[in-house]
Amino acid sequence: MMNPALTNPCTKSDWAQLAFNSSPKKAMICTRKLSKENIGYNYYTSSNNNIQCATASPSILHFPNTTHDNNVKNPPTKPQQLKKWNIFQKAVGAAIDMVETALVSLERSQPLPKTSDPKVQIAGNFAPVPEMPVKQSLHVTGEIPGCIDGVYVRNGANPLFEPTAGHHLFDGDGMVHAVTIHDGVASYACRFTETSRLAQERDLGRAVFPKAIGELHGHSGIARLMLFYSRGLFGLIDNEHGMGVANAGLVYFNDRLLAMSEDDIPYQVRVTPAGDLKTVGRFDFKGQLTSTMIAHPKLDPESKELFALSYDVLKAPYLKYFKFSQDGEKSADVDIPLNEPTMMHDFAITKKFVVIPDQQVVFKMKEMITGGSPVVYDKNKTSRFGIMRKDAKDASDITWVTSPHTFCFHLWNAWEESETEEIVVIGSCMTPPDSIFNECDENLQSVLSEIRLNLRTGESTRRPIIDFSQHPHINLEAGMVNRNLLGRKTRFAYLAISEPWPKVSGFAKVDLITGEVKKFMYGSEKYGGEPFFLPHDNSILDESEDDGYIMGFVHDEEECKSELLIVNAQTLQLEAAVKLPSRVPYGFHGTFVRSEDLSHQA
């Protein structure tokens, strides 16, 4: 049986104060108390008790000991991979380990920036949880609407091993949380996506793959890359079949649920009839996909085609575009000409075009030589958007429209306005652009904006959609529009109210025409993540665009309880709350797969 403390670590009142917003003094007392009770967690405290992390939680990490559940694949007590090595490999491995130990010791002697300090990045409810097999017949408050029948799945970063040095929130191993609903009855499960990286590290009993954001900076980042490729050279690890964590996006396409991060190809995850999750493996579209794919591909609601990008940080071409037919047939790659590798987390589509952001956050690997981060805000670069036909065979007809000082981590939608020969792009513009990756003193602002790209003049305009005099300091980041109208003109967007950053205190329904904002707030000490809009049905409607429901996980930091909320998108009234048997950490993006689609799962 699983130790109850693993699924509800806040069974003690002191722990509720420890894990969320408690004073450092109480946190230290509770740490000692729980350590004596041996409830299955290890706790790590900062040497400076006055440090408070950016998530407004104390600087304490807790990593679950999953060995109490026989249904969970756990780190072995003795590394299994070592048994496969010959004498020479063991000697080389020991030598590399010695170098790495010295490197970690050096790193720990220096203060870490908040953007790579695990005491900041994965504290409180950003901390990992163990896997949980299916728990059936969950308690539901209210009534789940009858049209909601299927599974809500949400991805997130959930590191299996305690970080030895730097760690960014985005670096964690992928874990999918699933709530399956049928006839108003709900179940819950969460599982790691069994990436090549995760499987190898589990066999080794520790983390050996470099963390892309938390570790790969400065001279120590170069050293870690050298150690990593040395392990690969001597066959100690397999670095040829995927380094990704599959922790960001989820899309259901071609009868497959795909978990994605932009550093690898997708992984297929199957939803079992009982509501559990099982990783099928890396999915390269039957050998067609030979490069990475970003975590936000776009599914056209009419053609059912899937559009995607792939970027490379080391060699040209730095960016490629491709698409898949409804049956999963991949088009030829279209190389997009860029002078340097650009961080491109998202893009947009319209009925006819793809909209490609070439912005000011770029990769400059040489910055590591001088001790800096390879992710750089290039103030001398002018941001622009590339407009290219969806069926383009090459990039010869791409139109570039400049949009100075524009950085959108996410683009919510785009559409064509033929009367003005403009492409309208809806996105959240961030300043400072690289604040997610690099520490800075300036507070981050994420402004919901309308960007108009004139294809005839090559000029652009940008305006905030919301009136700041009525809604000051409202950061809107993570969300969506009605996916039945993706690439078409939409009136409403449903976006996370990211305050206090990076927590989410509620969501906003924004009228993109009038700027009107209607808020649904979760309540005192309750926080969530991306609001997911589920249309009432799959038809493409010109009216009743907001006919549907908002779904999302919410966590009560005082009670240490998580639930799935279902809110009527038209009235913003709570329809139902599904009480979950385990803490759900704050995560990234999700989707909903209807039961009729699951019945055709590959």
- Please enumerate in sequence order all residues whose Cβ is within 8 A of that of 181, keeping only pairs 6 or more positions apart, or say none: 144, 148, 149, 150, 151, 152, 578
Cα 546 to Cα 512: distance, rounded to the nearest angstrom: 13
Question: Which residue do the tokens 């699951």 mark?
Answer: 598
∠ CA 228-231-234, rounded to 5°: 150
Nearest to 160 by CA among 172, 178, 177: 172
CB 424 within 8 A of CB 415: yes
Q: How many residues does the chain have?
A: 602
Backbone angles phi, psi at 191, to 5 degrees: -145, 145
Cα 53 to Cα 500: distance, rounded to the nearest angstrom: 12
546, amino acid identity: D
The partner residues of 385 in beta bridges, in order of sequence, read: 357, 401
Q: How far is CA 409 from CA 287, 431, 434, 602, in A?
A: 30, 10, 10, 32
Whether 555 has a binding-site annotation, put simply, is: no
Q: Which helix (H) or strand (E) holds 252?
A: strand 249-253
Cα 53 to Cα 61: distance, rounded to the nearest angstrom: 11
Whether 139 has a binding-site annotation, put simply, is: no
* CB atoms near residue 13 (< 10 Å): 10
Cα 32 to Cα 21: distance, rounded to the nearest angstrom: 18
Longest dimension (CA), the chain: 72
Q: Residue 239 is encoded by which pair of tokens?
A: 């670095």
Alpha-carbon dihedral angle through residues 553, 558, 560, 563, given to the nearest 10 degrees: -30
CB 428 within 8 A of CB 459: no
Cα 224 to Cα 228: distance, rounded to the nearest angstrom: 6
Cα 313 to Cα 244: distance, rounded to the nearest angstrom: 14
CB 425 within 8 A of CB 486: no
Nearest to 518 by CA among 550, 485, 482, 552: 550
∠ CA 575-495-134, rounded to 5°: 55
Establish whether the linkage from the previous residue to 432 is cis, with ω within 30° of 0: yes
- Please enumerate in sequence order all residues whose Cβ is within 8 A of that of 520, keeping only pairs 6 or more positions apart, or say none: 506, 507, 508, 509, 550, 567, 572
The partner residues of 41 in beta bridges, in order of sequence, read: 64
First and final C-alpha spacing in the chain: 32
Q: Residue 183 is encoded by which pair of tokens?
A: 């006839």
CB 515 within 8 A of CB 538: no
Query: Annotated binding site for Fe cation: which residue ranges?
Result: 296, 345, 410, 589
Residue numbers belonging to the annotated binding site: 296, 345, 410, 589
